[in-house]
Amino acid sequence: MRDIVITVFMFIGAFFMFVAALGVLRMPDLFMRLSTTTKAATLGAMSLLLATAFYFDDYSISGRIMAIIAFIVLTAPVAAHMIGRAAYFSNVPLWKGTICDELRDRYDTREHILHDPAEIEEPGQGH
Amino acid sequence: MNLPFIIHYFILPVLSLAMLCSFIRLVRGPSLPDRVVALDLMATLVIGIVAVYSIATGRSAYLDVAIILALIAFLGTVAFTYYLQRGNNQQRDKNQ
């Protein structure tokens, strides 16, 4: 019974890891790759680590595994956000089918100031 | 069908294939952030492989590697993005 649970968790983890790698290979755009990779790889690693926790069935090892999972869940979105931010500021091209880029012409990437669109239309009115 | 058999014949090949896919992106990646994303994914994949391998061998000491790897991967990504942004600003200063 325990082996079945471990096997199921391992297959789920391997599947999501593979989906993440396929996404990073096939997606057309850096930001899509980033979004696929972060979520799917976090879920995959979490599932594989949970399988390990079920296998060893020991409090000290389970605590260590919970620490790894918590660390991955906390840091993966932060790392992805930082990569996306740096990539947007270095003008990585968006996919040609992108329909919405709200920061374009509104964000000063040098000084990191977000302008009000009304302020851009009539300069000098700002305070 | 015991666990080491399943791991060696199903799980590890799939994870290796995933590693290969992300390595192709690491080599081909048109821009530097693409490569950083691929490296980040590879670090997470290695964490998964280490966890599965510790099941296959029955040794829990391998999990320490996973802890350290999770730490180092995050620090590496943060350092990469920091220098990416700084180099970006310097290049813009040169262009002006």
Domains detected in chain A = 2-95 (1.10.287)
DSSP E strand stretches across B14-87? none
Q: Which of A18, A1, A11 is nearest to A50 (CA)?
A: A11
In tens, the pLDDT along A52-77 reads: 999 998 999 999 999 999 999 999 99
Q: Is the pLDDT of residue A124 over 70?
A: no
CA–CA distance, B1 with B7 (Å, rounded to integer): 10
Compute the mean pLDDT over every residue in chain A, rounded to the nearest whole number. Answer: 87
Which residues span the domain enclosing B13? 3-95
Give first-to-last CA distance, chain B, whole Å.
66
Q: Provide the number of structural domains found in chain B.
A: 1
Burial (CB < 10 A; 0-12, 13-18, 19+), residue B18, is: buried
Banded model confidence at residue A126, pLDDT cuts 50, 70, 90: very low
Give B-chain residues touching A40 at CB under 8 angstroms: none
Predicted TM-score (pTM) of the model is 0.87
Mean pLDDT of A13-42: 93
The beta-carbon neighbor of A21 closest among B11, B21, B51 is B21
DSSP annotation of B46 reads: H
